[in-house]
Amino acid sequence: MAEVLVLVEHADGEPKKVTAELLTLARTFGEPAAVFLGAPGTYAKAKEYLAQYGAAKVYVAESDDIAGYIGGPAAEILAKLVGEASPAAVLVAATADSREIAARVAARTDSGLIWDATALSADLVATQGIFGGSTIVTSKVTKGVPVVVVRPNSTAPEAAPSTPAEQTVEVALSDAAKGAKVVDRVVEAKSGRPDLTEAQVVVSGGRGLGAAEHFALVEKLADTLGAAVGASRAATDAGWYPHQNQVGQTGKTVSPQLYIAVGISGAIQHRAGMQTSKTIVAVNKDPEAPIFEFADYGLVGDLFNVVPQLTAEIEKRKA
Ligand code: FAD
């Protein structure tokens, strides 16, 4: 059975849930081989997790250069592994850093790239949103080794304990790989809520909220559901909520089980970041708002009436 390379998504060695999802997906059409790229000493934190989710092998490359330069070192190492291992496919998560790495790997290996897959069949046919997510198509790579960027929450992670073989990868980088140096890192403030891109439930607020302080309504509903909080660009541009919480074409892409849009019109650029959510609920006072064209459930009404009632009802049912 051919290997399927899975780029491990992690924060300082702590694997993100999407890594388990990619390993689970890889098992459906090959032998999952995790590729861990990180700073020296970080792999130790990921080892157990990768074994728990069925990695048959782990390629380990640790170097200060991997996190010290943008994209280049990771892409160079991964592309070299693709050449050596001739895998059936390469799977990476649809996050900002990994998207960049995926594109570089596809270019270096002269391979086809599939972007934003929400499903991948055993014969490597991907379901994918294109044109900013407004159209869903099925696609298959016909050249080289398929490099597939998969949205978080596309696969339910299943544990499959294994004892992976470990292979240390020598890090010998070209000058070209060190083209863009990281000069500073700003760690996102911790909110105590789930990570926006990985959350099972997301509650987002838009211009309809009218003011920064009204985001408290969205946060309360989110906390009742154990959800992450998102925002439209109108809300982040107005300074009502941090830009790191923006959902959409120029923000983050989310694909939760449940997406609740509060006071958001449903512009194409917002839709691009959330339309593959499994169930979409919209609260809007305008029955003609575009979001009702693609929402699964629509609540026409004033959010200042609807949201507190919704929150209270959920709290009551939880009790
Ligand atoms: P509006 O479109 O103003 O909608 C507000 C909604 O709230 C209305 O439908 C209104 O009926 C409703 N409302 C008002 N009061 C109430 C109330 N009391 N109760 C209930 N409902 C109420 N946008 C993004 O979100 N993400 C992006 O990443 C993004 N990227 C962009 C990139 C480009 C290049 C461009 C040009 C635009 C981008 N936009 C993005 C902006 C996008 O086009 C919209 O302007 C934006 O999404 C609108 O945000 P909104 O829905 O909150 O505001």
The 10 Å Cβ neighbour count of residue 107 is 13
* Whether the predicted pLDDT of 191 surpasses 90: no
The pLDDT assigned to 136 comes to 87
Taking the centre of ligand 1 as the mean of its atom positions, its distance from the CA of residue 234, in whole angstroms, is 5
The pLDDT assigned to 242 comes to 95
- Percentage of the chain beyond pLDDT 90 is 90
The pLDDT assigned to 190 comes to 75
The pLDDT assigned to 135 comes to 81
Q: Is any atom of ligand 1 closer than 6 Å to the C-beta of 251?
A: yes
Taking the centre of ligand 1 as the mean of its atom positions, its distance from the CA of residue 117, in whole angstroms, is 25
- 38 sits in which H/E element: strand 31-38
State whether residue 101 is helix, strand or coil. helix
Q: Is any atom of ligand 1 closer than 6 Å to the C-beta of 201?
A: no
State whether residue 251 is helix, strand or coil. coil
- Percentage of the chain beyond pLDDT 70 is 99
ipTM over 0.85: yes
Taking the centre of ligand 1 as the mean of its atom positions, its distance from the CA of residue 263, in whole angstroms, is 8
Give mean pLDDT, residues 219-244: 97
Helices marked H in the chain:
17-26, 43-52, 64-68, 72-85, 96-108, 215-225, 233-237, 268-271, 303-318
The pLDDT assigned to 225 comes to 97
What gap in Å lies between CA 139 and CA 149, rounded to an integer? Answer: 12
State whether residue 215 is helix, strand or coil. helix
- What's the order of all strands across the beta sheet hosting 135-139? 135-139, 126-130, 113-120, 147-150, 89-93, 3-7, 31-38, 57-62, 165-168
What gap in Å lies between CA 225 and CA 318, rounded to an integer? Answer: 10
Q: Do 247 and 261 form a contact (C-beta atoms < 8 A)?
A: no
Predicted confidence (pLDDT) per residue in 42-78, tens digit? 999 999 999 999 999 999 999 999 988 989 999 999 9
Binding residues: 207, 232-233, 246-250, 263-270, 284
What gap in Å lies between CA 248 and CA 269, rounded to an integer? Answer: 6
The pLDDT assigned to 96 comes to 86
Q: Is any atom of ligand 1 closer than 6 Å to the C-beta of 304?
A: yes
Q: Is any atom of ligand 1 closer than 6 Å to the C-beta of 272?
A: no
Predicted confidence (pLDDT) per residue in 5-52, tens digit? 999 999 999 999 999 999 999 999 999 999 999 999 999 999 999 999
**CA nearest to 261, candidates 303, 223, 220:** 303
Give mean pLDDT, residues 110-124: 94
134 pLDDT band, cuts 50/70/90, is confident
First to last CA, the chain: 50
Mean confidence (pLDDT) of the chain: 95
Give mean pLDDT, residues 157-173: 96
